């Protein structure tokens, strides 16, 4: 039973990776487009910023909505 459970977990994890890969690729492309359009040197996750910066979340979301 434990072996079957591990096999199922591996199968589900692989399926999740397969489905998330194209989505993450689209997100990265949108982030890169926004970074270039706004002449930004770097884009960080919000948790990595203590103070300052420009929030481009809505810009990236708009790119994904097209």
DSSP 27: H
Query: What is the reported pTM?
Result: 0.78
pLDDT score of 43: 96
pLDDT confidence of residue 46: 87
- pLDDT for res 66: 74
Q: What is the pLDDT of residues 5-55, one digit of tens each?
A: 899 999 999 999 999 999 999 999 999 999 999 999 999 998 898 899 999
Q: Is 2 left (phi over 0), alpha (psi -120 to 50) or beta?
A: alpha
27 close to 60: Cβ distance less than 8 angstroms: yes
pLDDT at 27: 97
């Amino acid at each position: 039973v434990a072996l079957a459970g591990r096999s199922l977990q591996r199968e589900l994890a692989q399926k999740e990776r397969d489905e998330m890969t194209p989505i993450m690729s689209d997100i990265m492309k949108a982030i890169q487009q926004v970074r270039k359009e706004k002449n930004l040197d770097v884009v960080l996750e919000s948790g990595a910023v203590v103070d300052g910066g420009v929030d481009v979340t809505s810009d990236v979301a708009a790119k994904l909505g097209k």
